[in-house]
C-alpha cells in the first residue's frame, strides 16, 4: 500500500534539508530521503521536476464551522480546503458551539479529523468554561484527552486574576495558554483600527493599544507564574517590540501572526469591503511592515491561517454589522510565499514557520521530513501564478480577504500518511 | 450646462470644487424660484422619489419631500424600523423591492456608516445619502455652504469652527471635507472624548478650549450632542458640557463681531447652545439653513436626474 517515490524534488525541511533529492514513502511513512536516492524496483515514481517538497503544513489557528455552524463550513469541507492548501495538520479553536471545554469533545474532534483521512485535527482545549472568561475549564482532563494547548479562541481572557491562575495551573499539565490579545473594553463596538481611515469612514475604532496592553500584561503574568503564554495573530509594531524584549529577558513567550497582517493594510477596507473586516482589524502600513520584519528576525514563531469561515449573509451587511473574519486555508502558503518573492523572507524560514515551528509549539510530531515520520507531504511550485477568487476557492466558505489578489506558489500535491489527498 | 456625471450623491469626500460650485449656483437659482413659487414642476414629472428612512428625521425627510414635490416628482416616504431582527437583510431585501418598483431617486437615511453605499451597489435608482451613521451627510454640508456663501459672498478664506460632538457627527465630516475643498480654514473644538482619532489629518486645527477655538472665527457651527453620549460616559453631564462647550453669548464674544452661528438641528437648548444665541436675529442663521436645505436638495435632485437622462 501507499508506497511512492518522489524524484527530482527540492527537499525542504529546515534546518536539516534544503536541496535537490528524492523521497521514498513506504507504508505511509518516510522511509528515506536525500540526494542521490534512486527509486527501488516496483515503487511508483512521481517526477517533481524541481518543485519544492516540504512537510505537510501545520496550521496552528483555525476556526472550524463544525460543531455549531455547519451552514458555514463542515469538517469535510474544511479538510478539502486544507488539502488544497497543502495543510495536513491543523489546530482547531475551541470557541465553537458547544465550546471544546469537555474531554469528550476533544476526543470527538480528534476522531472527526481522522475520519477525513486527510487531516489531523489538534483541538485546543478551552481555558474557561464555555469560553466565557469566568471559570477555569478542566485543563488537566482536557490535556489528558489530547488538547494540544489552551485558548478561548477569539475571546480574550480579560480578567487578570483568571489569566494568572490559568498560566500557573497549566504548567502542571504542559500546554501553552494561547491568548487573543485584545482588551475587550477598549475594543468594544469597534470594527477598524482607530485612526485617520476609521475617522474618515465614520467607523468606531479599536486603538492599537488594546493589543499592546494585553500583551504587556500577560508577559508580566508569565513572569509572575513561570507559565507559557502564546499570543495569536499579532498585528502591530508595538506588539512585536514587546514580545521581542520579553524573549530577550527569558520569559516563556511565543507568538504567531496570520497572512493578512503581513500582506494587507487597513486600506483593504476602503469601499466598505466587509471581506477585509477581521479581528484584530487590519492595521496601518507601518504595522504591516513591522510584522513582516518580525517574521524575518525570529520574533514571530509561526504563521497560521487564522481561517474563520463565514456565510455570505454574515458579510453582506454594512461594515459595522458584518461579522469579522476571513478564510485562509487555501491561501496560507502562497501569501506567505509573497514575502519570499518580495525578498523579505528566505524560503527556508517561511517553510519553517509553516511546518516544524508550529508543530513544536503544539507538541506535535508533525511538520518534518524525518525518516520514520508519517509521510505528510506538500509539493508545490513556488513560482506558479494564480489568482484568488472568492466563489472558486476549495471548501465551502468563500470569505477571503485576498479576493482578486494575484499570487505565486501553487500546491501541486498533498499527501497524508502517504496517501495522496490533493492534486 | 456644466456636467454632473455622478449617478449617486454618497459623500462629499472626493468631490471637486467646480462640482460643488455648480450645485451651489443651481441651488441659488432655486432659492429665488422657491420664493416666487415658480419652480419647474415638469422637471421630475413622472419620476418617483422614495425617502427611505431607517432613522427618524422629520426635518431632513420633509426637506427632501418638499424638494421632490416642487420639481414635480411622485414622492413616497418609507420609514423602516431598525429595531427589526436583521437590519442588513432588510437593507438588501429593500433594494430588491425598490428595483421592482422602478424608483428613480432614492434618498436614504441610515444609522450605519456606509449603508447608502451598499444600497447604491444594488439598486438601479440614483441614491442620495441623507445621513449615514457617523460617516457623512452631504446635503447638509452643501446647504451650510450655500448659507455661508449668501451671507458672506464667499466660503474661501473664511475661518470656520465646528464645535461639540465631532466624533459622532456626520455633519461635521461632510462639512470638513466641503469647507476645506472650498478653501476655508476649519477648526474643530470639543473635549478629547468627543473628537475622533487623528482628525487633524483631515486638515483641521484642533482645539479643546472654546475661547481659543472661537477666537476670531467667521462662522461657528454647533453640533447636536445626543443624550446617549452622557450615558456612555463620554462627558459627565449636560450641565458640565454646557459650562465648557455650550455656545452662549460670553463664548461667542471670542468670535469675529459679525460671526454667523449655525446648527444643523434639532437643537438641544441649554446643552450645546443657549436659547438667546440660537434665536439671535443678527447672528443666528439657523432658520435660513432650513430654507437653503430645500433649495440645495432641489439642485441635487435636478442634477442627478439630468445625469441619469444623459446616461440613459
User: Could you give the CA distance from residue B223 to residue B164 in angstroms, rounded to a whole number?
Assistant: 6
pLDDT at A285: 98
pLDDT at B3: 47
What would the grid cell of residue B115 be? Answer: 449603508
> Which chain B residues are closer than 8 Å to A200 by Cβ?
13, 173, 202
| Residue A346 resides in a domain | yes
| Residue A274 resides in a domain | yes
CATH number where A160 lies? 3.20.20.140
Cβ neighbour number for residue A404 with a 10 Å cutoff: 10
Q: Tell whether the model's pLDDT for residue A42 goes beyond 90.
A: yes
Burial class (CB in 10 A: 0-12, 13-18, 19+), A333: buried
Evaluate whether B296 touches B23 at the Cβ level (below 8 Å): yes
Range of the domain at A103: 56-368
Residue in A closest to B113 by C-alpha: A202
Q: Tell whether the model's pLDDT for residue A412 goes beyond 90.
A: yes
Minimum distance, in Å, between the CA of residue B171 and any CA atom of chain A:
11
For every residue of A343-410, DSSP letters joined together read: TSS-HHHHHHHHTHHHHHHTT-S-S---TTSB--EEEEEEEEEEE--TTSSSSS----TTTT-EEEEE
Chain-chain contact of B88 with A272 (C-beta, under 8 angstroms): no
Within 13 A of B59's CA, how many CA atoms are on the CB side?
Answer: 15
What would the grid cell of residue A335 be? Answer: 501569501
ipTM over 0.90: yes
User: Could you give the CA distance from residue A295 to residue A298 in angstroms, rounded to a whole number?
Assistant: 6
pLDDT at A14: 93
pLDDT at A45: 97
Q: Tell whether the model's pLDDT for residue A368 goes beyond 90.
A: yes
Q: Tell whether the model's pLDDT for residue B81 goes beyond 80.
A: no
Q: Tell whether the model's pLDDT for residue B122 goes beyond 80.
A: yes
Q: Tell whether the model's pLDDT for residue B87 goes beyond 80.
A: no
Full-model pTM: 0.95
pLDDT tens-digit series, residues A246-274: 999 999 999 999 999 999 999 999 999 99
Residue in B closest to A316 by C-alpha: B88
A205 vs A288, B163, B172, B301, CA distance in Å? Answer: 18, 21, 17, 34
Strands, DSSP E only, in chain B?
A: 48-53, 74-79, 105-110, 126-132, 159-163, 185-189, 205-207, 219-222, 260-262
User: Could you give the CA distance from residue A348 to residue A87 in angstroms, rounded to a whole number?
Assistant: 17
| Residue A291 resides in a domain | yes
Evaluate whether B112 touches A201 at the Cβ level (below 8 Å): no
Task: Tell me the torsion sign for CA atoms B65, B70, B71, B75.
Answer: positive
| Residue A386 resides in a domain | no
A286/B contact by beta carbon, under 8 A: no
Q: How confident is the model at residue B203 (pLDDT cuts 50, 70, 90)?
A: very high
Q: Tell whether the model's pLDDT for residue B1 goes beyond 50.
A: no
**Cell 517574521 found at:** A295
pLDDT at B170: 97
Chain-chain contact of A199 with B115 (C-beta, under 8 angstroms): no
Cβ neighbour number for residue B215 with a 10 Å cutoff: 15
User: Could you give the CA distance from residue A66 to residue A71 in angstroms, rounded to a whole number?
Assistant: 9
What is the percent of chain B where pLDDT is above 70?
95
Q: What domain count does chain A have?
A: 1
pLDDT tens-digit series, residues A268-301: 999 999 999 999 999 999 999 999 999 999 999 9
Annotation says A287 is catalytic? no
| Residue A355 resides in a domain | yes
Minimum distance, in Å, between the CA of residue A295 and any CA atom of chain B:
29
DSSP-based helix, strand, coil % in chain B, nearest 5: 45, 15, 40
pLDDT tens-digit series, residues B11-47: 999 999 999 999 999 999 999 999 999 989 999 999 9
Q: Tell whether the model's pLDDT for residue B95 goes beyond 60.
A: yes
Cβ neighbour number for residue A15 with a 10 Å cutoff: 9
Evaluate whether B173 touches B230 at the Cβ level (below 8 Å): no
Minimum distance, in Å, between the CA of residue A276 and any CA atom of chain B:
15
Minimum distance, in Å, between the CA of residue A162 and any CA atom of chain B:
27
Nearest CA to A332 among A223, A416, A405?
A405
CA B105 to chain centroid, in Å, comes to 18
| Residue A126 resides in a domain | yes
| Residue A14 resides in a domain | no
- Catalytic residue selected from A306, A314, A376, A403: A306
When pLDDT is averaged across residues B290-305 and rounded to a whole number, the result is: 97
3-state secondary structure of B124: coil
Q: Tell whether the model's pLDDT for residue A347 goes beyond 90.
A: yes
B100/A contact by beta carbon, under 8 A: no
Q: For B201, which of A196, A272, A320 is closest by C-beta distance?
A: A196
| Residue A218 resides in a domain | yes
What would the grid cell of residue A207 be? Answer: 486603538
What would the grid cell of residue A246 be? Answer: 520579553
What is the percent of chain A where pLDDT is above 90?
99
Chain-chain contact of A195 with B117 (C-beta, under 8 angstroms): no
Chain A contact probe: residue of B55, B114, B122, B192 with most A CBs at under 10 A: B114
Evaluate whether A218 touches A163 at the Cβ level (below 8 Å): yes
pLDDT at B83: 53
Taking CA B175 as the corner, what is the angle to CA B106 and CA B304, rounded to the nearest 5 degrees? 30
Chain-chain contact of B88 with A203 (C-beta, under 8 angstroms): no
Nearest CA to A400 among A295, A336, A312?
A312
pLDDT tens-digit series, residues A303-318: 999 999 999 999 999 9
Amino acid at each position: 500500500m501507499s508506497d511512492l517515490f518522489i524524484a527530482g524534488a527540492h527537499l525542504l525541511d529546515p534546518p536539516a534539508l534544503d536541496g535537490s533529492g528524492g523521497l521514498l514513502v513506504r507504508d505511509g511513512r518516510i522511509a528515506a530521503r536525500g540526494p542521490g536516492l534512486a527509486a527501488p524496483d516496483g515503487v511508483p515514481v512521481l517526477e517533481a521536476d524541481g518543485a519544492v517538497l516540504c512537510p505537510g503544513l501545520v496550521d496552528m489557528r483555525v476556526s472550524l464551522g463544525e460543531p455549531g455552524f455547519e451552514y458555514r463550513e463542515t469538517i469535510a469541507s474544511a479538510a478539502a480546503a486544507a488539502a488544497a492548501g497543502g495543510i495536513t495538520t491543523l489546530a482547531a479553536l475551541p470557541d465553537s458551539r458547544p465550546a471544546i471545554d469537555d474531554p469528550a469533545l476533544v476526543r470527538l474532534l480528534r476522531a472527526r479529523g481522522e475520519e477525513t483521512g486527510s487531516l489531523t485535527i489538534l483541538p485546543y482545549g478551552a481555558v474557561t468554561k464555555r469560553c466565557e472568561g469566568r471559570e477555569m475549564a478542566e485543563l488537566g482532563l482536557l490535556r489528558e484527552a489530547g488538547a494540544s494547548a489552551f485558548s478561548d479562541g477569539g475571546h480574550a481572557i480579560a480578567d487578570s486574576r483568571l489569566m494568572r491562575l490559568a498560566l500557573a495551573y497549566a504548567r502542571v499539565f504542559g500546554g501553552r495558554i494561547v491568548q487573543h490579545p485584545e482588551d475587550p473594553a477598549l475594543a468594544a463596538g469597534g470594527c477598524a483600527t482607530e485612526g485617520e481611515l476609521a475617522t474618515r469612514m465614520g467607523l468606531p475604532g479599536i486603538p492599537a493599544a488594546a493589543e499592546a496592553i494585553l500583551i504587556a500584561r500577560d508577559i508580566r503574568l508569565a513572569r509572575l507564574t513561570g507559565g507559557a503564554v502564546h499570543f495569536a495573530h499579532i498585528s502591530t509594531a508595538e506588539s512585536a517590540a514587546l514580545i521581542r524584549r520579553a524573549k530577550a529577558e527569558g520569559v516563556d513567550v511565543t507568538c504567531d501572526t496570520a497572512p493578512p497582517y503581513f500582506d494587507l493594510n487597513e486600506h483593504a477596507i476602503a469601499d466598505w469591503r466587509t471581506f477585509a473586516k477581521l479581528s484584530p482589524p487590519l492595521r496601518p502600513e507601518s504595522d504591516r511592515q513591522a510584522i513582516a520584519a518580525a517574521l524575518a528576525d525570529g520574533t514571530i514563531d509561526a504563521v497560521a491561517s487564522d481561517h474563520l469561515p463565514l456565510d455570505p449573509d454574515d458579510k453582506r451587511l454594512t461594515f459595522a454589522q458584518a461579522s469579522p473574519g476571513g478564510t485562509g486555508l487555501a491561501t496560507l502558503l502562497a501569501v506567505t510565499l509573497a514575502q519570499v518573492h518580495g525578498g523579505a523572507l528566505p524560503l527556508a524560514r517561511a517553510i519553517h514557520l509553516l511546518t516544524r515551528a508550529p508543530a513544536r509549539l503544539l507538541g506535535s510530531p508533525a511538520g518534518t521530513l524525518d525518516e520514520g515520520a508519517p509521510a505528510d507531504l506538500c509539493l508545490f511550485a513556488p513560482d506558479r501564478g494564480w489568482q484568488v477568487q472568492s466563489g472558486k476557492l476549495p471548501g465551502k466558505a468563500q470569505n477571503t480577504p485576498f479576493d482578486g489578489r494575484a499570487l505565486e506558489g501553487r500546491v501541486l500535491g498533498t499527501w497524508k500518511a502517504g496517501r495522496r489527498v490533493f492534486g | 450646462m456644466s456636467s454632473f456625471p455622478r449617478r449617486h450623491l454618497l459623500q462629499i469626500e472626493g468631490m471637486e470644487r467646480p462640482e460643488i460650485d455648480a450645485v451651489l449656483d443651481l441651488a441659488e437659482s432655486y432659492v429665488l424660484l422657491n420664493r416666487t413659487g415658480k419652480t419647474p414642476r415638469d422637471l421630475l414629472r413622472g419620476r418617483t422619489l422614495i425617502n427611505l428612512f431607517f432613522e427618524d428625521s422629520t426635518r431632513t425627510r420633509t426637506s427632501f419631500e418638499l424638494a421632490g414635490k416642487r420639481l414635480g416628482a411622485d414622492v413616497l416616504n418609507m420609514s423602516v424600523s431598525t429595531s427589526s431582527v436583521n437590519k442588513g437583510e432588510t437593507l438588501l431585501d429593500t433594494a430588491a423591492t425598490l428595483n421592482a418598483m422602478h424608483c428613480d431617486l432614492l434618498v436614504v437615511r441610515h444609522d450605519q456608516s456606509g449603508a447608502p453605499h451598499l444600497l447604491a451597489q444594488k439598486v438601479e435608482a440614483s441614491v442620495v445619502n441623507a445621513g449615514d451613521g457617523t460617516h457623512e451627510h452631504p446635503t447638509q454640508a452643501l446647504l451650510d455652504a450655500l448659507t455661508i456663501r449668501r451671507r458672506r459672498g464667499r466660503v474661501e478664506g473664511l475661518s470656520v469652527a465646528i464645535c461639540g460632538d465631532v466624533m459622532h457627527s456626520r455633519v461635521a465630516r461632510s462639512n470638513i471635507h466641503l469647507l476645506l475643498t472650498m478653501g476655508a480654514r476649519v477648526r474643530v473644538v470639543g473635549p478629547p472624548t468627543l473628537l475622533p482619532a487623528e482628525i487633524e489629518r483631515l486638515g483641521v486645527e484642533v482645539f479643546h478650549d472654546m475661547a481659543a477655538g472661537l477666537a476670531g472665527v467667521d462662522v461657528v457651527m454647533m453640533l447636536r450632542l445626543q443624550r446617549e453620549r452622557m450615558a456612555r460616559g463620554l462627558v459627565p453631564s449636560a450641565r458640565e458640557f454646557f459650562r465648557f462647550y455650550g455656545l452662549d453669548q460670553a463664548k461667542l464674544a471670542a468670535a469675529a463681531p459679525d460671526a454667523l452661528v449655525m446648527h444643523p438641528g434639532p437643537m438641544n437648548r441649554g446643552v450645546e447652545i443657549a436659547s438667546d444665541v440660537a434665536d439671535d436675529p443678527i447672528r443666528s442663521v439657523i432658520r435660513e439653513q432650513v430654507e437653503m436645505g430645500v433649495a440645495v436638495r432641489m439642485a441635487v435632485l435636478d442634477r442627478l436626474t439630468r445625469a441619469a437622462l444623459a446616461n440613459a
